A and B are shown apart, each in its own frame.
Chain A
Amino acid sequence: MSSQIPSFFSNDIVLHVEGIRKVYPNGVIANDNVTLSVFKGEIHAILGENGAGKTTLVNIIAGCIKPDAGEIYVNGKKVNIDNPRTATKLGIGVVHQHFILIPALTVIENIALSLDSGFKLDLNKVREKILQISSLLNLKIDLNARIEELPVGLRQRVEILRVLCQNANILILDEPTSVLTPIEVEEFFRILRNLKEKGCSIILITHKVKEALSISDRITIMRKGKVIKTLTPKETNEEELTLLIIGEKQNSEFISLTEGNNKNKEILLLVNNLNVKGDRGELSVKNVSFSLYSGEILGIAGVAGNGQKELIEALTGLRKPESGTIIIRGENVINKKPKSLIKKGMAYIPEDRIGRGVILTMSIAENAILKIFEENPFSNKTIMNRNSITDYTQKLMKKFGIIAPNPNIEVRALSGGNIQRLIIARELSYNAKILIAENPTAGLDVRATDFTHRMLLDLRSKGMGILLVSADLDELLKLSDRILVMYNGKIMKEFNRNEYDIYKIARLMLGIEV
């Protein structure tokens, strides 16, 4: 056994993970030698940027994914958590980032579902148990309400009740506050403190520095899959934590960008007072206004889930905005369908390459012409011309370095980097003037990332206007002429290239006013 920690078998440690490592099939090292301990009755915050590996760690402890290396100890005993059931039995309760409640069922039915109640469903017994726990914690909730009728804050309460009913005494909450309003957050913290008093240990995953400071007993910072440090709120402050989260960055990293061609700039895209609702009906984009010029890369910085997705979907015609205007070359294109926006010269590299970017079960050629198959020579609008499609795709594959035996190979046989090349190739296939790139390098290896960056810079120099929406601050600083920081659906501030200040931007991204 590799344990060298003296207090290892201390009664106070309820959960200890040692040397956890997880490499995803695409090569991303999401957890690298992660070691941390959680004491009985403490609130332990795990703080880190998007992609730091927090959710991966949670999923490993919850038994949802298998680590490549490392050990987990619960109450001093080494355990093998190979599925979520085992975690539950060990008293580990997880509230995932994405809720797993069934909307059409009531609160009580949802909770009953997750309990091992044998063959016969005794709702009365479940009700008694819930009432017992909820009164203990002073949690109010209508047990007969259907989940779909409840606001997000209350749904979360149901999730917490659900894991408590499974007799969890180690509670893991993955980004629980990201869906809550400030008032709900206060109420939520009250519940956490209550739980703590009752002896529960709580792991609170968050990327919000302020929250971690205000609620937790100890804070562990993760960055790029590694644990950087564990400290108590008393011995640190916002400034230091922010630094630890984003890491050391050289300012020289982002001055190499050649000056854009400032002359003959024209406004390609003008967005005014745009309001867009999210999937849950909450306002996700709030009064956003900006303009995108030709020959520039305009970066949008922000932690995922702050309205970027909804903004992009409104711009590309995939989501109906509530109000505002989107003007492309003098015409208001709000409420236009994707097809007319494509015709207007809008290209889009989606983050979700597999779900939205390509059709995995269709060939490279079919994907390559997905946006232009109704044009000459690929078809005469009615009948497809397979030969010219194949010829075209062969040339495209050569030009963009897409490696595959032939154009009729299904896309699912390609690597992530090749799929990204294919998407870029397709998006450049119809002389678009505006390109929206959504986290274009997420999950790509170094080579593919470099290719993508070069491509974007090349397009910029050719006069394209590029909206680069990215959760990767390094990427934004390296590539963009201007950066808008988005937080909670609003544009917080605009930075010109000569004003870039990584800490200011990072703090704004985390919702800390400068």
Chain B
Amino acid sequence: MSTVTQPHAPSPATAPHDPRAPHDQAVPQRSMSLSTFLSTYVFSKDHKVIGLQFLFSTLVWFLIGGLLALAVRWQVAWPWSDVPVLGKLFAQQGGQMAPEFYTMLFTMHATVMIFLVIIPILAGAFGNFLIPLMIGADDMAFPTLNMLSYWFMWPAFFFFGVSFFVEGGAAAGGWTSYPPLSTSTVSAPGSGMGQTLWLLGLTMVGVSSMLGSVNYMTTIILMRAPGMTMFRLPMTIWAMFITAILQAFALPVLTAAGFMQLTDRLIGTGFFSPEGNIINNAMSGAGGGQPILWQHLFWFYSHPAVYIMILPAMGMVSDILTTFARKPLFGYRPMVYSIAGIAGLGFIVWGHHMFISGMNPALGITFMVATMMIALPSAVKTFNWLGTIWGGRIHYTTAMLFAISFVSMFIIGGLSGIFMAATPVDIFIHDTYFIVAHFHYVLFAGTAMGVWAGIYYWFPKMFGRTMNEFWGKVHFFLTFTFLNGTFFTMHILGAVGFPRRLADAYHYETFHHLQPLNAFMTWCAIGMVTSQIVFAINFFWSMFRGPIAGRNPWNANTLEWTAPSPPGHGNFDFQPVVYRGPYEYSVPGCEKDYLMQTDPPHPAEAAAAAAAHA
């Protein structure tokens, strides 16, 4: 209890319980009053409960986003044919999709996936659950703020959710919401109320992220256990830390831009409206603004945001790889520096989304050079991951398979980035399926696979039970296979120039022969979404029926594995003291192949260190 600033004392007094009994923290007695129930499960300030609330909410939205994706894919593969199942749900003209409905679908698919799934599942679910546990704190620095960060997601859920049912439907201007399509209410059906709700929802997600970000930074800086220096932090925490910094610096710009777009729409400020614009045969707005300004502001946030959407997954994957390769992380410091490098460079590459937007082409060159350079830290990370499994003793658990696939798939997503960073090539492939391939490789094949790795890996800590390995592997195999079937072929579509966001491209001579390939991809996408049933059943079944897990089922090193599974309120039933970095696996001369961060100094370590320096 020496050097740490703890807001409330850890509770050894509450220790006499069996750590392996699930739910020992909640003590769900039958006599529990309503207010206890509410403060324990609903308006909880416990970071673990908040983390799980984020996890469940985002998984529900993941399902919704997935179904939206299938509807999009249906239209792309078989335009204007009756949509099965979903067609009845949103019965348009007799089950057949209207083009404005299609534009709404791809807009809301991306919106849901980015703002309601990927960002909150990484920072909100894993960040919340893991940060205090992995740094040896009993909770976050600001538990109330933490609770609010979750509850601010609900207005966002509400705004996005009801926008589907207002007149004109939900937003339909793309997740990038480029004006004037998004600011002029007459420009498209979805530019009405749906777009206003979209902006409000986005703002709420921003508030939630900001509250989380402040909390994560403070917690990581101030509440580390004794001995936990910054350079003994696991990669997951480093990634969360730098992600929080990215959020804090980038978000204000998006929030401001969102408000500007809102006032453009509501009171005609005209920040993004040019002079004398005629939309739908009506003069639109005040003028005096610039549509491209929005793109700068939007991407100033949203490029850093793509790293917000992957850095935490990179951190988690690094930890999982070391655990199941039984090897120290290769190049710990370069790994930290490359995350920092990605974050730094991430602020000066936003213009690569705007090469052909009408932005000054000379400016495009500077963004191109910066973008080329950002591929560098990504390469360094990849090489270090390969270095990590080299010479290891690999255990093919489900978590490990997902983590390895993250590496394998991130290579593809990173390399396709280079094509698009090359400005002349981007002239041709911009806004084609090549881009769609790229970001699905980094975001789905990368981040989402990393998230699954994280779920299988930390499930025992979350629920005190282990997920079924066999069905986990079935889930992995199906997802991995179908995802490549769906997304790899998109590169080929991109090479033909097949544009994204077209409700029907087959009436173009250039693209009319691409329907069979698209049908194949849609079948794979259907398979991919369907495979998640395996995951869902495994997840819920294991939560209640899975084999009971001990504190440290994977023989891992980091602090969370010293706490009971699941940890009680206050997390640790002793004061963790840290003696070493997180990756001391297979130390020669040590009787077991791992040394936890809390294990007292071991003679073999000193010998190994001496040998290394000899």
Is B a genuine binding partner of A?
no
Interface residues of B (CB under 8 A from A): none
